[in-house]
Amino acid sequence: MRFPTFAAAAAVALALAPAAHATGFGSNLIANGNAETGNTTGWNTTSAFTVVQYGASGGFPFPADPGPSDRGTYFFAGGESNAKSTASQTIDLSALSAAINTGASRYDLSAWLGGYESQNDNATLTATFFGSGGAVLSSASLGPVSNSERGNQTGLLLRDTQGYIPVGALNVGITLTMTRNAGSYNDGYADNLSFAVATAPVPEADAYAMLLGGLAVLGVVAKRKQRKGQA
């Protein structure tokens, strides 16, 4: 009877061990990030922050203006007669703590941000990671998109950033800030806000330990078969 060689056993153990790689980014964790409820459900707002329909009268973006291809019906706007308005929400990350605390979990933050014609009203999206006791661990921001970046055209442009979630993060605060620089209406615009997480990979040390464990099991099995054959 033939028994597996060490090389063959190693190959089998490697095949059994999980691959050490990160999965793709998961679903968007921001509630009502595309404004398609037609209101600010899911957000805590200040000042006159609002939701507007594409093509609404008054010079707002039309469906054919620069913006997301899957823009839907509504987008976020700064609102009437205010210099600054905000919308915020908190995303609970505690269920992902085990993966986050490996130090290898990543996030993707993206949004379509813009404004009105040559006015420099704008929008900024910020994600702030909090740890135990509400301690701020790190943050990331998108925007603002200036009027020159838009070519002085009404519309929205895509902005995106990625990074690692800090170890110890328990939640992330998402804040959308609209700032007025001209006119009476705050024409900071935003749509399709997204925060997604990629789960952490299996650490190489763990994968190696599993490899050794698999080899040990195969070794025991081989010895038992050998003894049985000699009986």
CATH code of the domain in which 154 resides: 2.60.120.260
Contact 76, 176 (CB under 8 A): yes
Tokens 């301690």 belong to which residue? 135
Domain annotation covers residue 51: yes
Mean pLDDT lowest for which of 11-15, 26-30, 35-39?
A: 11-15
Domain annotation covers residue 39: no
How would residue 24 be classed by pLDDT, with cut points 50, 70 and 90?
Answer: confident
Contact 198, 22 (CB under 8 A): yes
Inform me whether the pLDDT recorded for 223 exceeds 60. no
Domain region containing 57: 44-211
142 is written with which tokens?
């998108």
Task: Tell me the mean pLDDT in the region 114-141.
Answer: 98
DSSP state of 34: T
> Can you give the pLDDT at residue 3?
38
* 47-96: pLDDT as tens digits: 999 999 999 999 999 999 999 999 999 999 999 999 999 999 999 999 99
Domain annotation covers residue 218: no
* 33-49: pLDDT as tens digits: 999 999 999 999 999 99
Domain annotation covers residue 163: yes
From the list 168, 186, 190, 158, the residue with the least C-alpha distance to 30 is 190
Inform me whether the pLDDT recorded for 18 exceeds 80. no
Domain annotation covers residue 128: yes
* 173-222: pLDDT as tens digits: 999 999 999 999 999 999 999 999 997 654 554 444 444 454 444 454 44
Note the pTM of the prediction, 2 decimals: 0.79
* 178-192: pLDDT as tens digits: 999 999 999 999 999
In terms of C-beta density within 10 A (0-12 exposed, 13-18 middle, 19 or more buried), how is residue 144 classed? buried
Number of domains in the chain: 1
Domain annotation covers residue 33: no
Task: Tell me the mean pLDDT in the region 98-110.
Answer: 97
> Can you give the pLDDT at residue 230?
55
Task: Tell me the mean pLDDT in the region 8-28.
Answer: 51
